[in-house]
């Protein structure tokens, strides 16, 4: 699926968004994976609830759009800090158990109506788990970062000016980037090497690790280019192929590497058996 363009609307204005080229998009995902994950996980909840049952009971609801954007900016300022998802403890009806009231009423698990919760029940103190220091926040040029994410979004044929956007508009544009570029990638289950995979070969020298740390481009791009089978040229990855194309090609490269390693290990085993 090569690079394409589609329309989306924000505040009655029709924008156009084009896929990021694979080289640029993969680099954004690699550099800001934690920030993107935090934004998606908070944004998808819709609304957060605050409830207090003390002397002065109150309840309030907060739109996740603003919280998601704040967390995204926080993780942009500290890219090495992961975003941990709050896991609601399984208890009561959510654990697949009947309540006393349901038992007395003669109800069964099969007959229970499924209740879809539209609000997250995570403590607010857990969700807003900021990690960026004052220095990191002060030195982060968010206008440049958002400019990278919105690089291929236009209004009436002109690039968007980040400085003129409201927080709500920025959140919606970031959502459009994620929906069009990231969702097709992260929603697809692909083949991957087993954790701590033993290739059966000689361990790479430390010099290769050092060179990888200093490599300015996304590792997935290099993986595609060094594949045994020609999957795509750098020119194609930089001009006509999108992020999903790169991940599809990389899956082929990874599977090919796995097969090659397994065949090598099998040949070594057979050679040892023949020597016995």
Residue 165 in tokens: 């956007």
- Supply the pLDDT for residue 121: 44
Span 172-186, pLDDT tens digits: 999 999 999 999 999
User: In Å, what is the CA distance from 132 to each residue of 19, 104, 139?
Assistant: 30, 52, 11
Q: What is the pLDDT of residue 100?
A: 55
Judge contact between 237 and 221, C-beta under 8 A: yes
For residue 53, the model assigns a pLDDT of: 62
| Higher-pLDDT residue of 57, 120 | 57
Rounded CA separation 253/189 (Å): 15
What pLDDT does residue 136 have?
72
pLDDT exceeding 90 applies to what percent of the chain?
A: 50
Q: Is the pLDDT of residue 46 over 80?
A: no
- The reported pTM is 0.77
**How high does pLDDT run on average in the chain?**
82
- What's the token pair of residue 39? 């934004």
pLDDT grade, residue 200 (50/70/90)?
confident
- DSSP conformational letter for 120: E
| Interval 155-172: pLDDT, tens | 999 999 999 999 999 999
Alpha helical stretches, state H, 55-149: 64-77, 100-104, 124-127, 134-139, 142-149
The DSSP code sequence of 207-272 is HHHHHHHT--S-HHHHHHHT-SS----HHHHHHTBBHHHHHHHHHHHHHHHHHHHHHHHHHHHHHH
Q: What pLDDT is stored for residue 272 in this prediction?
A: 86
Would you tell me how many other CB atoms lie within 10 Å of the CB of residue 184? 17
For the chain, the domains span: 5-91+117-186, 206-275
In this predicted structure, the answer to whether residue 201 has a pLDDT above a threshold of 50 is: yes
At 82 the pLDDT is 76
Quick one: pLDDT at residue 155? 96
Contact 74, 130 (CB under 8 A): yes
Structure tokens at 30: 């690699």
């Amino acid at each position: 699926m090569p690079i394409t363009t589609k329309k989306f609307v924000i505040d009655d204005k029709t924008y156009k968004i084009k896929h990021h080229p694979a080289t640029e998009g993969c680099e954004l995902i690699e550099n800001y994976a934690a920030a993107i994950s935090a934004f998606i996980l908070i944004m998808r909840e819709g609304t957060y609830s605050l409830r207090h049952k003390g002397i002065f009971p109150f309840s309030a609801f907060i739109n996740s759009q603003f919280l998601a954007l704040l967390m995204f900016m926080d993780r942009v300022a500290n890219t090495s800090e992961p975003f941990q998802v709050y896991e609601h403890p399984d208890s009561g009806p959510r654990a697949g158990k009947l309540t006393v009231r349901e038992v007395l009423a003669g109800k069964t698990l099969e007959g229970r109506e499924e209740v879809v919760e539209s609000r997250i029940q995570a403590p607010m103190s857990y969700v807003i788990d900021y990690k960026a220091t004052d220095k990191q926040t002060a030195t982060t040029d968010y206008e440049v970062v958002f400019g990278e994410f919105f690089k291929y979004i236009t209004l009436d044929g002109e690039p968007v000016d980040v400085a003129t956007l409201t927080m709500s508009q920025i959140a919606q544009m970031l959502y459009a980037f994620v929906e069009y570029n990231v969702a097709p990638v992260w929603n697809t289950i692909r083949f991957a090497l087993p954790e701590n995979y033993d290739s059966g070969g000689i361990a790479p020298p430390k010099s290769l690790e050092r060179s990888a740390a200093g490599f300015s481009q996304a590792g997935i791009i290099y993986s595609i280019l060094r594949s045994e089978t020609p999957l795509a040229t750098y020119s194609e990855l930089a001009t006509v192929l999108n992020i999903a194309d790169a991940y599809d090609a990389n899956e082929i490269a990874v599977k090919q590497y796995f097969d090659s390693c397994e065949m090598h290990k099998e040949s070594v085993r057979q050679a040892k058996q023949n020597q016995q």
